[in-house]
Amino acid sequence: MTIEDGGDGYGVSRDGGPSRGAPADCLSVPSSRARRVSFRFEVRSLRATDLVVGGASVALMIGIFLPWFEFGSDVTGFFSFDSVAVRSWMYLAFFAALAIVGFLALKAIFPRLRLPLERVVVLLACGANLVLTLVCFAKKAVGLNWDVGAYLSLVAAFAATGAAAFAATMATVAAVTRRHRNLSTAPEALWGGQPPHG
């Protein structure tokens, strides 16, 4: 059997003799090419509550590193510092918000991505961020004043938690309604497929 150049590919003669061109009784072996895998960021696949949670989480990430507290006077001047300068555990809120944004970005890239109890997990993460932000906001030392970062982080944490709670509630209501509808359309499911005995 011989393999010779057949123009577009290679000609393999069945009788073992030389082949010319690319006859019909020859096998064409095209050159292999790597397939390109494209990823598309589909914002439309996200719900309105997802967009609110994601936007508020980004705002929280920014607010954590903005000036949180300030002190001073007109004579000495004013000085400000961010939340992590005095509350290092605010890094937990930052990374939790980053994980939420990353998860929502994956959902936009892979619209069919579904994780067990994902609404509950997002709600718990947003709730934890709200608690951390509230504690950091409340534990203000005497002589300090709140700055723009504190207000922005507090509003963002409340917005993210509220949107996540609304999404989890609506998902629960939809699941209960769907289950009730299935039971009402198939009453025999209540009896394990067997009708009740009279």
Query: In angstroms, rounded to a whole number, what is the distance separating the alpha carbons of residues 137 and 131?
Result: 10
| More confident call, 42 vs 159 | 159
The whole-angstrom separation of Cα 55 and Cα 155 is 12
Q: pLDDT band at residue 92, thresholds of 50, 70 and 90? A: very high
Residue 159, C-beta contacts closer than 8 angstroms, at least 6 positions apart = 52, 56, 59
User: Hey, what are 127's tokens?
Assistant: 């709730």
pTM, rounded to two decimals: 0.68
pLDDT at 36: 55
Question: In the prediction, which pLDDT does 26 show?
Answer: 47
From CA 69, how far away is CA 66, in angstroms rounded?
9
Q: How confident is the model at residue 188 (pLDDT cuts 50, 70, 90)?
A: low
Residue 33 has pLDDT above 90, yes or no: no
pLDDT band at residue 16, thresholds of 50, 70 and 90? low
User: Range with the lowest mean pLDDT among 1-10, 84-93, 153-162?
Assistant: 1-10
Higher pLDDT, 31 or 158: 158
Q: What is the mean pLDDT of the chain?
A: 78
Alpha helices by DSSP H, 12-144: 48-64, 90-109, 118-138
Domain extent listing, the chain: 45-182
pLDDT at 194: 56
Beta strands 10-12 and 145-146 are: unpaired
pLDDT at 2: 47
Q: In this structure, which amino acid lies at residue 63? A: G
The pLDDT assigned to 31 comes to 47
150-163 pLDDT per residue, tens = 999 999 999 999 99
Answer yes or no: is pLDDT of 75 > 50.
Answer: yes
**Confidence category of residue 90, pLDDT binned at 50, 70, 90:** very high
